[in-house]
Structure 1
Amino acid sequence: MASAAAPILGVLGSCMGCMVFVENIAKQEPAAMNLMTFSTFLFISSIGLVFTSKFFTVKNQIPLEGYFKTVSMFFIVNVVNNQALNFHVPVPLHIIFRSGSLLATLILSVVIVGKSYSARKYISVFAITVGIVICTLATSSQGDSGLSMEEASKHYKEWSIGIAMLTFALLASAYLAICQQQMYEKYGKHPDEAMFITHFVSLPFFLVMGGDIVSASTKLSASAPYALIPGVPSLWVDLFASCVLQYGCIKYVYQLNSRVDSLTVTLVVTLRKFLSLIVSIVYFKNPFTAQHWVGALLVFAGTLAFADIWGGQPAKKQEEKKKQ
């Protein structure tokens, strides 16, 4: 377990740090979400181009056509998830919603792959679903104070769009996981190559957002200068930091997957999300009621129950048999 200490700390530190900078950007310039997504893809692609692909001199282990579905879904999931922050979806709810990935995974695994699960897993997912619904309803009743009826109506409509986007992204993310699993089963696991290709091949898709990205760049350039680096806009510093930390987050998750079992990965990722939630509430002073806490605890407890942490071992494979 000692060898896993570094990736565990790396996941907690880099992923949580990334969320802090992302939330800061989202609060100050919510229209910059496409720019943020593009910057992250460009940053990770650049590193992969130099160190993984070595400027395309290293032959791919997985043919490009094998990446088609994965790249498409990866791009959609990232863009939609980040863009939801532009529709009045608070980061705490965003974190809780994305923690419900097991719900979407179970649904699509049953429908598409034909798997079946134990009653305990269905109960766990039901708890996650109830938790997400509770948090969503609690959030829907906030944010309208001080607004005129017309403004409140507009706010609610935009918020509803954000929730719809998160719901879609949740299902798309689960389908992405299935696509990745099928790709790895066919071609083998090549995480560094996959990380590079999925980001690099997605870059041309951002051309359709060119105007929005340029506009957001102008707004970031007009932000107040960073205290420690005179003359450099603070939001550009935040954006760069989020890119670096996002890269670290992904790398450490890959490392963790290669060194520990899936149960430990689930525990670490769940802990990271919970701590990110606490940081968002405390540092950014996001409203979080008792109703939110009940929902959040249901989501996180359901996630841990699904992973069978109280059983002390990973779930048995026979719990996920294909239907006859």
Structure 2
Amino acid sequence: MPAYYKKMATKVDIDLTDTEEELNLSKWIRYRLLFTCALGIIFFHLVLGILQENITKGEYVKDGKKEKFTYTLALVFIQCIINAASAKLAMSLFSREKDSTPQKMFSACSMTYLGAMLASNQSLQYISYPTQVLGKSVKPIPVMILGILLAKKRYPAAKFLFILMICMGVALFMFKDKPAVADESHGFGFGEVLLLVSLTLDGLTGASQDRMRSEHKTGAYHMMFFVNLWSVLWLAIGLVVTGEGLAFLGFMERFPSILIKMVTFGIASAIGQVFIFITVTSFGPLPCSIITTTRKFFTILGSVIIFQNPINSRQWAGTVLVFMGLGLDSAYGKEKKDIKNVKNVKNESR
């Protein structure tokens, strides 16, 4: 082989090696970011759940009179204000780029985002918590379906199988056996309708976020800020129209400590939201949906390990399904990306 061609071949080998190293470094950074986001979402949503239960299920007694906390709009209103303020602070510190996403996209996303939360919370007035968990465990599926229909995304058939395995595993693990006492069963009612509405709106939110990412490269903090800002507007209108705003002010006057609890709840939510929006903008709504679904599983699994709570064979089956789904999805996704990266390297070297 002439010296010139040997030199060129050596140069190509060096370039390919450098490219491989860059790809491996880039993958390692992305894996580390995804792992950090997953830990943040799981931890802060655990804290969020504890605070939410303390607020909504707590005892409020004044002059011998018990009251219940029923001010969901007010709670979410304060939550969204703190989320928006946190995102604005993060934008000023870390993000200097201008965002080209139209406000109408943020507005539409905020409506479906709020609607899903309100419908899910309201469904608990009509159905049991295990039923709600079983319904919400399939959240990644409408995210995928509506992502295909509205955001023109494409997923391989294997992806659907892995997500279904995760959802089935979480459902098996979370579902609690009913005590052997007579219990009235009911058919498909208003609670189930609300749950379907919530799932549909979750899917629409995911599709909307996918579209913003693909068309406008929307940043995490911009998405978090404007979605929550629009949510504050809709909630403010709701508080005035329903009269809940004035009722909540009276409740807060009787129980001033509720404001501190709600602000703490909002701060925990804001930190959790930062991790969620980073996940959505960096990896898409589907990985975020998988993390938020499996966090329920990891929370209960942690309690089994720490407090030695026994689990039955059905729950062990759910554990195996979840880890199999996560492992297969991770391995399959890595294999597909590696094949794509190798093809890109070969094309660039020609």
TM-score interval (norm. to shorter): 0.5 to 0.7
Q: If you compute each CA radius of gyration, which structure gives the higher value, 1 or 2?
A: 2
Cα deviation digits, residues 291-312 of structure 1 (max 9, x gap): 983785487357526x613447
Shift of residue 247, structure 1, vs aligned partner: 0.5
Contact 1:16 1:275 in 2 (8 A): no
- 1:35 aligned partner: 74
What TM-score do you get using the length of structure 1 for normalisation? 0.67
Compare 214-223 and 30-39 and name the one that shifted more: 214-223
Aligned to 1:31, what secondary structure does the other structure show? Answer: coil
* Structure 2 gap segments, 5+ residues each: 1-27, 59-67, 341-350
Amino acid aligned to 1:212: E
- 1:103 aligned partner: 141
Aligned pair partner of 1:248 in 271, 295, 302: 271
Matched, 1:197 2:236: no
Q: Percent identity between the aligned chains?
A: 15
Matches of 1:50 and 1:113, distance apart in 2: 30
Aligned to 1:61, what secondary structure does the other structure show? Answer: coil
Contact 2:140 2:290 in 1 (8 A): no
Aligned to 2:101, what secondary structure does the other structure show? Answer: coil
Shift of residue 256, structure 1, vs aligned partner: 5.3
Amino acid aligned to 2:244: D
- 2:43 aligned partner: 13
Shift of residue 198, structure 1, vs aligned partner: 0.7
Amino acid aligned to 2:334: Q
Matches of 1:36 and 1:167, distance apart in 2: 23
Amino acid aligned to 1:237: I
Aligned pair partner of 2:326 in 304, 311, 322: 304
- 1:228 aligned partner: none
- 1:171 aligned partner: 200
Amino acid aligned to 2:44: S
Contact 2:140 2:286 in 1 (8 A): no
Contact 1:96 1:299 in 2 (8 A): no
Query: RMSD in angstroms over aligned alpha carbons?
Result: 4.6
Shift of residue 202, structure 1, vs aligned partner: 2.1
Counterparts in 2 of 1:264 and 1:83: CA distance versus 1, 3 Å: closer
What TM-score do you get using the length of structure 2 for normalisation? 0.63
Report the number of matched residues: 293
Q: How does 1:1-324 map to 2 (within 5 A)?
A: 4=33, 7-28=37-58, 29=68, 31-49=70-88, 52=91, 60-87=99-126, 89-90=128-129, 94-95=132-133, 97-112=135-150, 117-127=155-165, 142=178, 160-206=189-235, 207-210=237-240, 211-216=243-248, 218-219=250-251, 222=254, 232-233=256-257, 235-255=258-278, 269=292, 272-277=295-300, 293=315, 297=319, 300-301=322-323, 304=326, 308-311=329-332, 313=334
Matches of 2:286 and 2:338, distance apart in 1: 13
Cα deviation digits, residues 176-204 of structure 1 (max 9, x gap): 11111112222222221111111112222
Aligned to 1:35, what secondary structure does the other structure show? Answer: helix
